[in-house]
Structure 1
Amino acid sequence: MRQGMKVSLALLAFLGNLTWCYSAKANFKGNLTVEIDGFKNKQGQVCASVFAKSQGFPNNRDRVIQRQCTKITDSSVKLTFENLSAGSYAVAVMHDKNEDSKLNRNSLGMPTEGFGFSKNPEVRTSAPKFSEAAILLAGPNTNIQVHLKYL
């Protein structure tokens, strides 16, 4: 076999492997488990919403890719979101004490129920940006912890 043909075959094999790796990554599906703690009490339910993009984060329900709510039965609660593609996600969590499916606020616009975000960013005068809460889902099982805040 000539030298040029050997190089061409090696290059084709290399490109084929790259294409296969990219395809496998693109088709990857994993689970994201969110452990939530810091509850003031066990009244109501806790809800978590997963966002894949900054648009709508953290409160536009039309932009949520998965959402779960469950009764609070212990000092910490775990929710698992399944079948997520590899990539960046941000999670917004709320302690829905009165089970009305929204984060209630006082007359000044301050939350009256507990809330939290992936990566537990510091919250000052407004919700964090997507980039401040974004986590990377890159394996079959990713676990994060969210500690609720109350104002």
Structure 2
Amino acid sequence: MALIGASPVTTLTVDLDALRNARGMVRLCLTAAADNFPTCVDDDRAVARSVPATQSSLSYDGLPPGGYALAVIHDENGNGKLDTFMGIPREGFGFSRNPRIAFGPPSFKSARFTLSDLGDEQRIRMRYMF
């Protein structure tokens, strides 16, 4: 039985494809704020998660429906950040909707997806430059 006046919540399932190895951690940042994508800095409503790189699937439960974008890094050495060399990522990365990558991260708009009352699944292809 639904409660009158209760806000609807839903589930997002995330599947990661093409992780290079099972070392380190996978760090995910889910946000609805365009100005805080992809880092989720200063975003109190962002949902950041870290899971072992052996885990290639996870769920976010209890999310309100709406527009979101997801950024993922494969932190192979476990230092808590995306390592770069001359601005080029040395570790894996991926984004919701798998947008085309040119120079720098994609825009929020290109990674944005709509989470409906029925939930959603995002299959993210990890990319490695080195």
> What TM-score, normalized to structure 1?
0.77
Distance in 1 between residues matched to 2:117 and 2:82, nearest whole Å: 31
Given the alignment of the two structures, is residue 79 of structure 1 paired with residue 71 of structure 2, yes or no? no
CA distance in 1, matches of 2:10, 2:24: 29
Partners of 2:34 and 2:88 lie apart in 1 by 22
- Is 1:138 aligned with 2:119? no
Helix, strand or coil for the counterpart of 2:101? coil
1:78, distance to aligned residue in structure 2 (A): 0.8
Distance between the aligned counterparts of 2:79 and 2:63, measured in 1?
A: 27
SS of corresponding position for 2:110: helix
Between Structure 1 and Structure 2, which shows a larger proportion of strand residues?
2
For residue 112 of structure 1, report the CA deviation from its aligned partner: 0.6
Structure 1: gaps (5+ residues) = 1-19
Displacement after TM superposition at 1:140 (Å) = 3.6
User: Which residue is equivalent to 1:65?
Assistant: 46
Q: Please show how residues 38-117 of structure 1 align to structure 2 within 5 Å.
A: 38-63=18-43, 65-73=46-54, 77-106=56-85, 108-117=86-95
Q: Distance in 2 between matches of 1:73 and 1:45?
A: 8
Name the one with the larger helix percent: 1
Q: Does 1:148 align with 2:129?
A: no
Q: Percent identity?
A: 32
- The residue identity in structure 2 corresponding to 1:97 is E
Displacement of 1:139 in angstroms is 2.3
> What SS class does the counterpart of residue 61 from structure 1 fall into?
coil
Superimposed CA distance per residue, residues 18-55 of structure 1 (whole angstroms, 9 cap, x where no aligned partner)? xx9xx67xx21111111011111111111111011101
Check the 8 A contact 1:50/1:67 in 2, yes or no. Answer: yes
Are the equivalent residues in 2 in contact too, given 1:68–1:79 (CA < 8 A)?
Answer: no
Could you tell me which runs of 5 or more consecutive residues in structure 2 were left unpaired when the two chains were aligned. none
| Greater relative contact order (Cα < 8 A, sep 6+) | 2
Find the residue that maps to 1:34 and give its secondary structure: strand
| SS of residue paired to 1:62 | coil
RMSD over aligned CA atoms reads: 1.7
Runs of 4+ more than 6 Å apart: none
Report deviation, 1:84: 1.0
